[in-house]
Structure 1
Amino acid sequence: MNSETERQNSAIIQMLDAEQNVILKMRDLLKSGWPEFDQAVELMHKATACGNGRVIQTGMGKSGHVAKKVTATMASLGTPSHFVHPAEASHGDLGMLTKNDVLVCYSNSGNTSELAAILQYAEQIQVPIIGITMGVESTLAKAATVPLIIPKMPEGCALGLAPTTSTTAQMALGDALSVGLSCKLEFGRDNFNTLHPGGSLGTSTTKVAERMMSGGDMPLIQPETDSQEICWMMAKVQTSIAGVIDEAGNLIGIVHAKDASPAQLKSAHDLMRTVEPVVSPEDTVATAVNRMQNKAVTAIFVVDGKRPVGVFRT
């Protein structure tokens, strides 16, 4: 490793250490009891639990980017939340803040001039203000109903100037507020799934039972069923597998479409493979997809114990 790379890595490690340290300090505050944090969560809960209020978040520059991200996180955890750009607020966007809301402001120094208009308006219509800042004696800290003071630490960049430590702390604290509020609102897995129907988050929470084919759509056959009937049944329900069951209705094997041919008069007993992989109705779609990918199959049986209750397919 040359000296230039060593200097570079040293600067990066210094930055990561600084960001880690500020998060650990906030963790210690929470562990020992942080009354202002609890008050902030209570303010947001009071505003949103009745269904009329929202959490309005604002910040300028890098703090604004943090506010936007936390807004999205809070919304995904069931809390109505919106971002208002502070510079646009005095040009008409103050109307986005109502007396039922709570305002969360992010500013490292706490003296960001662009926040003046929205802070003044919030005070005028008596909207509670949560101020997230390192500035203990700042304008934001003094205006806030609940000031959340981040432990004062230098920025982690090599120059000690670029927002790194401060924005990491803001992000972590914003996420903590989001999680704390979601717990207070008893926001559960079903609620999360409702708000995330698509993408990997949707599949990570949706249960197989909600997506599987069941009843008459299950391609179930007996050990003596011949290949012609097997192919006909798989074509009928449009799956690439058929389940072989015994007299008790337990799944004892699986016949794959690539192993069965109408031209061959073979029985299911001769064609069937092991029942694996299978999933339960309570497994997530993500689990089913992962097991299917591992075995390079496009359909999988859903079992309750040994009894087939459905088929999941991609």
Structure 2
Amino acid sequence: MTHSHAFLDTARRVIATEADALRQLGEGLDGDFDKAVETMLSAKGRIIVSGMGKSGHIARKIAATLASTGTPAHFVHPAEASHGDLGMMAQGDVALVLSNSGETPELADVIAYTRRFNIPMIGVASRPGSTLIKQSDVGLILPPAEEACGSGIVPTSSTTMTLALGDALAIALMEHRRFTPEHFREFHPGGKLGAQLSRVSDLMHKENALPLVSEDTSMADALLEISQKGFGVVGVTDANGALAGIITDGDLRRHMDGLLDHSAREVMTRAPKTIPPEALAEEAVALMNARKITCVFVIDPQSDGAPLGLLHIHDCLRVGLG
């Protein structure tokens, strides 16, 4: 057997072991999971997530996932809790404490603090009789699944199960709150995911930046507006201020002969494609790609048709879309 085959065999064994652990976790969930979700929903403050070592890394991720899905949360390091960080926990909060053994000594101060100040505590551990589970208001027990390292020394299956359990709690809370992609963007404005959830209204150019002329405007003045605003297009509005048409470089080429003798109304393409301000910017990118255009006017379908803004493909590319 070559080394590469041995490595692949190891990888598949590890993944199969952890997948089996997740299956056991899912099958073993009971009413205590419901109690944990209800306890977290009742929090008037935040969810304080704590854990030591590998459990601490998982705790940080769970806190981040909760916070970005509408459940205010932050991580408190148990070793630093004794040195002032316990002040980050207050009545109205709920503690979510992770420890595979349930006997992690560094958690003692966190556990004692929750008991002293009547802060509800949800414990996650693999031993039902452990100190953490005994002290918890709600105990979530990890099944006795085999660690993927084979020797039981390296936290692998146990941390994977804890991570999945945290995701399950976060999504249960999110669904109960009817948390939407738009909400997610408010909690998670940065990065590629935030960009995908940007609204057209967040990126569009508006007010004085809009290239607009009336239908009666001469093409000499329309060309000046195109040049000054720098988008390569101009919108044409009717007597009521509604968008009646658009003039693009294609329209200019089609009317090249005697162009300056025409009005904007005579050159424009009527009823141009528009997009509402509340649409996701990704929808605008799809529209522009499908129509092979570089910008689109923004109009509220509930309004009188007046242009609110203009979105250029470069605006979308700038935030990582496209």
Q: TM-score range by the shorter chain?
A: 0.7 to 0.9
- Deviation of 1:192 (Å): 2.8
SS of 2:311's equivalent? strand
Partner SS for 1:200:
helix
Q: 2:80 aligns with which of 70, 74, 88?
A: 88
CA distance in 1, matches of 2:228, 2:290: 26
Which of residues 29, 40, 45 is equivalent to 2:41?
45
* 1:120 aligned onto 2:112: yes
Question: What is the distance in 2 between the residues matched to 1:214 and 1:240?
Answer: 16
Instruction: Find out whether 1:69 has 2:68 as its counterpart.
Output: no
- Give, in whole Å, the separation in 2 of the partners of 1:7 and 1:240: 60
Post-superposition shift, 1:173? 1.0
Give unmatched runs, 5+ long, in structure 1.
none
Aligned to 1:146: 138
- Tell me the equivalent position of 2:8: 9
2:186 aligned to which of 170, 174, 194: 194
Question: 2:251 touches 2:267 (CA, 8 Å); kept in 1?
Answer: no
Query: Does the residue aligned with 2:297 lie in a helix, a strand or coil?
Result: strand
* Paired residues for 1:1-314 under 5 Å: 3-29=2-28, 34-48=30-44, 53-157=45-149, 160-213=152-205, 217=210, 219=212, 228-243=220-235, 255-256=248-249, 265-266=258-259, 279-289=275-285, 292=288, 298-302=294-298, 309=307, 310-313=309-312, 314=315
TM-score after normalising by structure 2:
0.77
Contact 1:208 1:282 in 2 (8 A): yes
Q: Say if 1:5 and 1:278 are closer, same or farther in 2 by CA, change over 3 A.
A: farther
Please list the CA deviations of residues 80-126 of structure 1 after superposition, one character each: whole Å capped at 9, or x if unmatched: 21211111122332222223221111111222121122112211222
Distance 2:252 2:26 in 1: 58
Q: 1:116-167 CA deviation, whole Å, 9 max, x = no partner?
A: 2211221122221111122222221111110111222112236553222111
In 1, the alpha carbon distance for the partners of 2:87 and 2:107 equals 15
SS in 1 for 2:38: helix
Which structure 2 residue ranges, 5 or more long, are not aligned?
316-322
Quickly say closer, same or farther: Cα 1:259–1:200, change in 2 above 3 A.
farther
Q: How many residues align?
A: 304
Instruction: State the AA in 1 paired with 2:8.
Output: N
Give the partner amino acid of 2:248.
Answer: V
Which segment is superposed worse, 294-303 or 277-286? 294-303
1:29, distance to aligned residue in structure 2 (A): 4.5
State percent identity of aligned pairs.
35
